[in-house]
Structure 1
Amino acid sequence: MTDVLLVLTTLPDAATAQGIARSLVESGHAACVSIGAPVRSIYPWQGAIEEADEVPLAIKTTVAAYDALESALRALHPYDLPEIIALPVDRGLPAYLQWVGDMTTKHPESR
């Protein structure tokens, strides 16, 4: 087990996804954010079945940085109830996992 997390969320459009991704990396809350191709989400919301095109983000961070990342993501996210799911990274390329840790613990200007 490592201290790296993969955090998943979805956004309503590419511009919002890009802005949030950049903010999370610039602030040092995330080492990297991958923006995916639009997906179609189907879910119940406020008594109706909704369908929406959304843009997924895969955010690489650490356990130590997660609380600050979640707080920032909630503040930036346009949804009333954003999907924020953190998955532990069991294994990975050691040098990459070290890099994720380094990028989320250093001050943004030193990266």
Structure 2
Amino acid sequence: MPTVYITAPPDAADELAATLVEERLAACVNRLSTTSTYRWDGDVHHDEEAVLLAKTTDDAYDDLVERVRESHPYDVPCLERFDESDVLEPFAAWRADVVE
């Protein structure tokens, strides 16, 4: 089962997280605050961002990606999939139960 790493501007992160959970594309989304340093259009930027860690399932992954792409304010959203090789079974069962 995957966890999806997403970055977003702070003012959009809560709504994006709520959408993913409300639409049952993620069982849970954790939000962390961070400062990102990155190159965009030839310039180096330093911006406050939110990191979202969305816990989903293999079956819901493609729909989650599509929903993030539709609603994300960035032209090129950061979206990376991490597959767990070891996860606590009760947590995996809960996640599978709440994601459609």
Question: Gaps spanning 5+ residues in structure 2: where?
Answer: none
Distance 1:43 1:6 in 2: 23
Alignment match of 1:9 (pick from 6, 11, 15): 6
Q: Deviations over 1:24-73 (max 9, x none)?
A: 0010100100111x211111111111111101101000111100000001
The count of residues paired between Structure 1 and Structure 2 equals 100
Alignment match of 2:31 (pick from 35, 46, 62): 35
Q: Kindly, what percent of the aligned residue pairs are identical?
A: 34
Distance 2:17 2:35 in 1: 20
- With structure 1 as the length reference, what TM-score do the two structures score? 0.86
SS of residue paired to 2:56:
strand
Q: CA RMSD in A?
A: 0.9
Moved over 4 A (4+): none
- With structure 2 as the length reference, what TM-score do the two structures score? 0.95
